[in-house]
Structure 1
């Protein structure tokens, strides 16, 4: 499932007020209108569309065809976000026509890419390949290497989808060589180069996993891991863990697979509903493989309930339904097993239509094999009632355990919500950020400061105040030695003054400043909230996400991800 369902669209959150009409909004700057679009593009479709129409109106009034096209494209992306694929496809065709009519080749290539992505779910694979081939032809005509490689890799993805994985591997290897040899420039930076190479290595690893060529997959994953210490987008750091998880799953090392997927989703967390559905599938299939069928049902069923699959997406759910059918079958719930197996067969047929290689005889064979297995299990149930009763008892115990864990989860959730409300109250009551969290250490490094002249104490406090105003505490090199040097004192005096004046040690003093800064900025800055935890950590002076998370939870009682999620809900 993970290979077929995801459509890749940029996700950005920014804030903006929204109370104007389209005409009033169109009087604002393009940046301001774009802020309004981004604010509502995932939460309120009418408002997001309204802002997009204002953007288009402004582009028309200023006779700026490029900006007008961008407004049209934003409508497409909004429809995609709300899973209205038919409407997205129709609007995307308009963006293509507009780009062609107004001689905007870059935008035409972008429109062809978007249209190709949409066809997989909106129409047919044939139509998808048509648009990708049109993109390839135009990229070659424009001598645009970037879009040429995009087109080739999109076509490779369709080859993978259609079962011609060897062809996909050939295309990706050529693209890999291209990016490895491509020189850096102002547009193609080192981080973009590294990310492109890692993405291709990862795709090659997954293709080899699909072909059951595990040794080759491991080799490409080793190449991915070589980039972990280089400049790289944070989410690419989790790529190798996802590959490790899939390899471990294939090798039936289910605990290893669980741990690897946990690391992958920790490094690059996302609340995007499609990512959450894929996450449920990843962990659910592991539990099926490990024969933890009740746990598998819990995970997979929760994923389905949260996502609510649309009719257009049913064709991509075959693997998901197959795992649910298998899990229910092994728990003895034959009615649910039969229901999901029929859904699996239906989506299998739909998926085969996408590949135009469906064979009804194969489906009938699978149905007959399942029915035979189903009848055998029913017979066994009738002959071994006592054994089944024992299994049902065990199942009841497992359900009770799951209910207990669920209750515990909700209690923790309620406790965290209470902590969040208390933190919000502190923020509102605080006259300045440093009043929010003010930790006091029971054991201080330097209690006695009587040997420090009063004038020196004041000089140190004034120096600290200036460094706070300059936000020096956000630097990773902010340590007692560097701070003492900047305010012309020594570390012993610095430690004593901080201990006596603030009632805390130097490290606690710096951590409080950083956490208070983070709390306020996450509350006020929507863009900052869209950063990964690693990026936030580095932004406020920590070298690792683990250190940042530890101090944030120590001071607030909450994980940063929970705080961010709750802030989004009230923003």
Structure 2
């Protein structure tokens, strides 16, 4: 349900500006056609397509290619609204070719974005990811910041599906930073910039809820709260109510969650049946959580009966079937409970396949990018080798140098392998994660903490342990000032206590925590090992790969890349 609904939001909101300018029936004014399309968009596909075709004819009579594309796009949207996904995909492909032929760049990218979203339903996630990459390349070619950010956020959604939520968060944070620093221009009004900030903040809040970091989720809800309805494009306020409702539900504030879900649906009313079944799911799950089992089963069953799930949508219904099975079980209707539990298991299996496919597609993309880079390097190397063929007189010297380098490399490799074995032994022997790397500083400014009151000393040590559990040290903002502020002390006391208790200064203390975290996560997390060194550095709190590599090598004697390679060999 969640991923299917995200596709809807992506399509509904990204095309709402077009629906407001979709026009009329052949001889009638454009506004009249627009009214007809909007009137029948969700209820009568034949009338909608008739109006769209009339609009196309009128556009042709005026030789207006952009409006003709809008007419074609209306047909694709009409198929989508009526859940004729294959037909919608085929029409969108025609729309993209039309835009290409007539050099309508924005319309070409809009068609490709829509077509990309549909691939999860009509094809597979591998094809969808390929389309998103194509959209990114097209946006870079046309120098479109707008569609570049759309592509990044859609790729982040694939990361979410694959289970790589942290990387999805990283991508969206960069996109959010782009819009927060974007100035108004011909492409972006202030309202459209605000709307993008609200939408991305919503997705970030959802991702943090997914990994159970509710405080971080709330921070991004606060970003949406800075806007009022007049600051946002139509319907974007729904993101605030949706995010607040999910947090309230997570915190078991069910009455408040229900009110917020109602606001969520009221702020942007629509006849689209996917929204209706999502409404049934959200209200039904609250009634279930409150113990109103019969009412929950009635709401959920009616939503399902009204919607009529298609075979291609079964893989997105796991959560819905699970809640419905639980509601029937609690009411004593074990036959219906068993029926929907079986459907839940089937849907879960399909979702697992989807997740595995997403992981595989992402890894294939990374492999392809790596091989392309290798081939470029190989080509460059061959060119240089061709040039060296003319320098036969220096061949002997080159060979001697190479032999020296190889011998040195072999010696270094052996030394690094020994260091790696020692590090593995320390990991196995460590009782706690912070015992692998425990650096002691010889020169400390404040070795004695006797002038720190005992109760404050305990407060600081307990505060440090709490922040360690919260993994605050992974944030780039983690400084002695911010740590002292969170604990409720000053930097002088903090420094003295860390010096005397841990035998190290504040920076060493934080670096040890980060490097311990990196060592263990790289050992245990296959996906994390596939990140670039820059991404790993940012994940553990460093601003640059150089800083991370410097401290990693200082504490372990190894480069991170060597450690990752050796871990992969034994995994």
Instruction: Tell me the residue number matched to 2:53.
Output: 53
Instruction: Tell me the residue number matched to 2:216.
Output: 216
CA distance 1:123–1:16, shift in 2 (3 Å): closer
In the TM superposition, 1:138-287 aligns within 5 A as: 138-228=138-228, 231-233=231-233, 235-287=235-287
Instruction: Tell me the residue number matched to 1:481.
Output: none
Shift of 1:228: 3.5
CA distance 1:53–1:174, shift in 2 (3 Å): same
CA distance 1:326–1:135, shift in 2 (3 Å): same
CA distance 1:348–1:173, shift in 2 (3 Å): same
In the TM superposition, 1:394-409 aligns within 5 A as: none
Shift of 1:37: 3.2
| 3-state SS of 2:83 partner | coil
Instruction: Tell me the residue number matched to 2:132.
Output: 132
CA distance 1:175–1:312, shift in 2 (3 Å): same
CA distance 1:268–1:76, shift in 2 (3 Å): closer
8 Å contact kept, 2:161–2:358: no
CA distance in 2 between partners of 1:357 and 1:148 (Å): 24
| 3-state SS of 1:356 partner | helix
Larger RCO (CA under 8 A, 6+ residues apart): 1
CA distance in 1 between partners of 2:184 and 2:23 (Å): 36
8 Å contact kept, 1:325–1:337: yes
Shift of 1:134: 0.7
CA distance in 2 between partners of 1:204 and 1:77 (Å): 27
Shift of 1:307: 1.8
Instruction: Tell me the residue number matched to 1:492.
Output: none
8 Å contact kept, 2:161–2:355: yes
Shift of 1:36: 3.7
Matched, 1:82 2:90: no
Instruction: Tell me the residue number matched to 2:335.
Output: 335
Cα displacement string for residues 78-103 of structure 1 (whole angstroms, at most 9, x for unaligned residues): 11111111111111111122222333
8 Å contact kept, 1:15–1:36: no
Shift of 1:226: 2.4
Shift of 1:244: 2.4
8 Å contact kept, 1:76–1:88: yes
Shift of 1:194: 1.5
Shift of 1:218: 1.5
CA distance in 2 between partners of 1:278 and 1:153 (Å): 22
Shift of 1:173: 0.5
CA distance in 2 between partners of 1:31 and 1:338 (Å): 52
Instruction: Tell me the residue number matched to 1:319.
Output: 319
CA distance in 2 between partners of 1:240 and 1:314 (Å): 28
Shift of 1:283: 1.2
Instruction: Tell me the residue number matched to 1:293.
Output: 293
Cα displacement string for residues 148-195 of structure 1 (whole angstroms, at most 9, x for unaligned residues): 111111111222122221111111111111111111135422222221
Cα displacement string for residues 31-76 of structure 1 (whole angstroms, at most 9, x for unaligned residues): 5544443343222212222232333344455554333322221111
RMSD of aligned Cα (Å)? 2.6
8 Å contact kept, 2:73–2:92: yes
CA distance in 2 between partners of 1:283 and 1:32 (Å): 37
Instruction: Tell me the residue number matched to 1:116.
Output: 116
Shift of 1:107: 1.6
Instruction: Tell me the residue number matched to 2:351.
Output: 351
CA distance in 1 between partners of 2:52 and 2:270 (Å): 25
8 Å contact kept, 1:5–1:316: no
Cα displacement string for residues 530-552 of structure 1 (whole angstroms, at most 9, x for unaligned residues): xxxxxxxxxxxxxxxxxxxxxxx
User: Aligned pair count?
Assistant: 352
CA distance in 2 between partners of 1:2 and 1:119 (Å): 16
Structure 1: gaps spanning 5 or more residues: 19-24, 360-571
CA distance 1:108–1:289, shift in 2 (3 Å): same
Cα displacement string for residues 508-532 of structure 1 (whole angstroms, at most 9, x for unaligned residues): xxxxxxxxxxxxxxxxxxxxxxxxx
CA distance 1:14–1:194, shift in 2 (3 Å): closer
| 3-state SS of 2:4 partner | coil
CA distance in 2 between partners of 1:126 and 1:355 (Å): 11
In the TM superposition, 1:439-458 aligns within 5 A as: none
CA distance 1:113–1:15, shift in 2 (3 Å): closer
CA distance 1:241–1:68, shift in 2 (3 Å): closer
8 Å contact kept, 2:129–2:158: yes
Cα displacement string for residues 86-127 of structure 1 (whole angstroms, at most 9, x for unaligned residues): 111111111122222333222210110110111121111111
In the TM superposition, 1:551-566 aligns within 5 A as: none
8 Å contact kept, 1:202–1:220: yes
8 Å contact kept, 1:14–1:38: no
CA distance 1:183–1:108, shift in 2 (3 Å): same
Shift of 1:130: 1.3
CA distance in 2 between partners of 1:39 and 1:78 (Å): 12
CA distance 1:257–1:64, shift in 2 (3 Å): closer
CA distance in 2 between partners of 1:90 and 1:306 (Å): 27
CA distance in 2 between partners of 1:109 and 1:342 (Å): 41
CA distance in 2 between partners of 1:31 and 1:358 (Å): 43
Shift of 1:201: 1.3
Shift of 1:299: 1.4
Shift of 1:230: 6.6
Structure 2: gaps spanning 5 or more residues: 360-571
CA distance 1:330–1:133, shift in 2 (3 Å): same
CA distance 1:250–1:46, shift in 2 (3 Å): same
TM-score (norm 2): 0.57
Instruction: Tell me the residue number matched to 1:66.
Output: 66
CA distance 1:169–1:65, shift in 2 (3 Å): same
CA distance in 1 between partners of 2:270 and 2:102 (Å): 38
CA distance in 2 between partners of 1:50 and 1:232 (Å): 33
In the TM superposition, 1:357-436 aligns within 5 A as: 357=357
| 3-state SS of 1:108 partner | helix
